[in-house]
Amino acid sequence: MDRIKESFDSLPIAACFFDKNGVVRLINRRMLAITNWLQKGGIQSLAEMQSALQAPPASVCCLDPHLWIYRFPDGTALRFAQEQITTKAGARYTQITAADVTELIQKQNQLKAENAKLEKTNKRLRRLLAQMPEIIREEETLAMKLRVHDDIGHSILATRRVLLQNTDQKEIRATAALWEQSISVLYRSSQMRAQSEPLEAAKERAEKLGVRVLLAGDEPRTQRMRALIALAISECASNCVRHADGTELYVCFWQKPDCIAVSLTNNGAAPKGKITEGGGLSMLRQRIEESGGKMEIQSVPRFKLMLSLQEKEEAAYEGDDR
């Protein structure tokens, strides 16, 4: 009998048995410790056990009343189960067991947290998809402006050749048509820019994606530099949502002797490797370098986009635009 009791005490699950009158007949050490938590002095009957589970003491937290899951003072979560059993001799007993489900509860809580995080990410992605047509239009507009820039360069060379050489009327008209087309596109572009301030418009677009843009330092005043920085903000905000799951974009300005420096960082996840420039970043680099500036991308320890924008070259550009 002692050997049976010793084996019963060594079970990994807490268990006890009550006879037909509800009196405890067999209980192992694990269940004995649990009943002392449920009721001071332990439990002597089935009715006391059921009452303690229905109204546990303050030190015991009921996690799920339907599944009989409780958290005890030592931090373990136990699931109780009640079952009627009958011996070969026909004697009936009520068996109550308590299984340790602490790890399962932890995994369940982790899963709930991951699901909540995924739902949040899905909402932000849906916002991003809703903004995708506008982003695509902006990228197409930027590509169009770059093509117009090339066309103007070609027009200048063609006009120079027309002026220096004796050319026929047909070629002069073709050159004039090219100039007219380029000027028309530039006029429409300038009208579009005049509708909204570049930095404020970029901040508003980022807000729609769920990214808050925080500016620090002295912002550049010239429209051309603000437009370049607005392009950088739009690209970084989009990448912040798509790749870093971030919610804030930090833009810092500071004056250097020969240029204005700008850094863009975010509060999202760090890149898993070296960042490869895609279409948006490549196009941004082209615009920055064409304006006489420099662009650098840092991947480690966190993402950082650094711009150096030349003020003198911009002023010369604006003065020649007549």
Q: Is 189 exposed, middle or buried (0-12, 13-18, 19+ CB in 10 A)?
A: middle
pTM for this model (two decimals) = 0.45
Contact 312, 225 (CB under 8 A): no
Residue ranges of the domains in the chain?
2-100, 197-322
pLDDT confidence of residue 314: 41
Copy the structure tokens of residue 286.
């082209």
Look at the domain 2-100 and name its fold. Beta-Lactamase (3.30.450)
- State the CATH class of domain 197-322: alpha beta
Low-confidence spans in the chain with pLDDT less than 50? 193-195, 313-322
Amino acid at 167: T
Q: Which pLDDT score is estimated for 190?
A: 56
Asked if 30 and 19 count as a contact pair (C-beta separation under 8 A), the reply is: no
Amino acid 176: pLDDT: 67
Per-residue pLDDT at 155: 62
Three-state SS string across the chain, please? CHHHHHHHHCCCCEEEEECCCCEEEEECHHHHHHHHHHCCCCCCEHHHHHHHHHCCCCCCEEEECCCCEEECCCCCEEEEEEEEEECCCCCEEEEEEEEECHHHHHHHHHHHHHHHHHHHHHHHHHHHHHHHHHHHHHHHHHHHHHHHHHHHHHHHHHHHHHHHCCCCHHHHHHHHHHHHHHHHHHHHHHHHHHCCCHHHHHHHHHHHCCCEEEEECCCCCCHHHHHHHHHHHHHHHHHHHHHHCCCEEEEEEEECCCCEEEEEEECCCCCCCCCCCCHHHHHHHHHHHHCCCEEEEECCCCCEEEEEECHHHHHHHHHHCC
List Cα–Cα distances, 40 to 13, 37, 51, 57, 85, in angstroms.
21, 7, 13, 10, 28
- What percentage of residues in the chain have a pLDDT greater than 70? 74
CB atoms within 10 A of CB 85: 10
Task: Pull the structure tokens for residue 77.
Answer: 């979560």
Gap between the Cα atoms of 79 and 186, Å rounded: 73
Give the residue carrying structure tokens 């799920």: 64
Cα separations in angstroms, 143 against 19, 43, 129, 282, 317:
85, 79, 21, 11, 20
Tokens 């008209």 correspond to 173
- Note the Cα 184 to chain centre separation in Å: 41
Neighbours of 269 (CB within 10 A): 13
As a whole number of angstroms, the distance between CA 77 and CA 71 comes to 4
Query: Nearest-CA neighbor of 193 among 225, 222, 227?
Result: 227
d(CA 116, CA 112): 6
